[in-house]
């Protein structure tokens, strides 16, 4: 009976996963779109990354102490963005993708348009959903974070970061789209370089921001489907329309 119960539970999980794929594909009906189910990375202990600590010090008007035996920080080093609350790794742009794939097992999808299906939206903050998106000869990182910007009021922040320089990022435009129950929400902007640090992007609010009630309006059984499209563009705009 125990063996039967375990097998039956595994079959139900598989059916549920396939059902999530089906529903996402039904909502985003464009031909050729890929659907990726992304599980959350949840952390109970907040340990700010190096860029977050430097940003906090700058906001308080206090610079971090400088010691003669410490090396000068290389501005071309990118901090690890997965998980955002615990990994102290830093590296050059050429090795960011291999670090994310080998160390954190981050999935990577190829194609101009994909669907990002984040599960377990009910988990307490801080929680992250992360995936890599390869298209147009470059790699992008989509970060969806649930965070309490104000105590007791969690919000969802979604942004696209280019694994490249700020100059390269200016050549692209990304679009995030939520579509459910005859409602549609779009955010379009220029991606930021991963060298600029995702923490500062979220703090500035230069991304798609959803409060809890709005996220629930577009979620389906605890999952949130976000359509992602990336194009090359020289003229950029940032807008959110509903």
The string of pLDDT tens digits covering residues 92-144 is: 888 999 988 888 888 888 887 899 999 999 999 989 999 999 999 999 999 99
Q: What is the pLDDT of residue 65?
A: 39
Q: What is the pLDDT of residue 74?
A: 63
Number of H helices, E strands in the chain: 6, 15
203-230 average pLDDT score: 93
Residue 222: HSE in the Cβ half-sphere, 13 Å Cα cutoff: 10
Q: What is the pLDDT of residue 18?
A: 52
**Residue 146: pLDDT above 70?**
yes
Q: What is the pLDDT of residue 53?
A: 47
The mean pLDDT of the chain is 76
Range name among 97-101, 117-121, 169-173, 188-192 with the lowest pLDDT average: 97-101
1 alpha-carbon distance from chain centroid: 41
N- to C-terminal Cα distance for the chain?
Answer: 51
The domain segmentation of the chain, as residue ranges, is 32-39+77-232
Percent of residues, the chain, with pLDDT higher than 90: 40
Of 124, 116, 122, the closest CA to residue 208 belongs to: 116
Q: What is the pLDDT of residue 6?
A: 54
| Burial grade of 81 (CB within 10 A; 0-12, 13-18, 19 or more) | buried
Reading the block at residue 42, the tokens are 């949840």
Range name among 8-12, 188-192, 236-240 with the lowest pLDDT average: 236-240
Q: What is the pLDDT of residue 219?
A: 94
**Residue 17: pLDDT above 60?**
no
Predicted structure pTM score: 0.73
CATH of domain 32-39+77-232: 2.60.210.10
Q: What is the pLDDT of residue 85?
A: 57
**Alpha-carbon span 12 to 16, nearest angstrom:** 6
């Amino acid at each position: 009976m125990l063996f039967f119960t375990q097998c039956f539970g595994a079959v139900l999980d598989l059916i549920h996963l396939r059902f999530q794929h089906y529903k996402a594909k039904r909502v985003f009906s464009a031909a050729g779109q890929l659907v990726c189910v992304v599980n959350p990375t949840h952390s109970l202990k907040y340990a700010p990354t190096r860029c977050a600590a430097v940003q906090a010090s700058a906001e308080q008007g206090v610079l971090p102490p400088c010691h003669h035996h410490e090396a000068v920080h290389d501005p071309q080093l990118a901090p690890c963005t997965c998980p955002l609350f615990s990994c102290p790794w830093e590296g050059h742009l050429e090795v960011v993708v291999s670090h994310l794939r080998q160390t954190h097992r981050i999935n990577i999808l190829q194609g101009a348009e994909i669907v990002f299906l984040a599960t377990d939206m009910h988990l307490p903050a801080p929680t992250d959903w992360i995936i890599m998106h390869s298209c147009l000869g470059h790699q992008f990182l989509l970060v969806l974070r649930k965070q309490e910007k104000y105590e007791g009021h969690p919000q969802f922040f979604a942004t696209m970061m280019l694994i490249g320089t700020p100059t390269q990022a200016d050549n692209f435009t990304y679009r995030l789209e939520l579509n459910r129950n005859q409602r549609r929400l779009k955010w379009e902007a220029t991606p930021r370089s991963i060298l600029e640090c995702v923490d500062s992007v979220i703090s500035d609010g230069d991304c798609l921001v959803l409060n809890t009630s709005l996220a629930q309006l577009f979620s389906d059984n605890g999952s949130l489907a976000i359509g992602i499209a990336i194009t090359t563009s020289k003229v950029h705009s940032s807008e959110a329309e509903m």
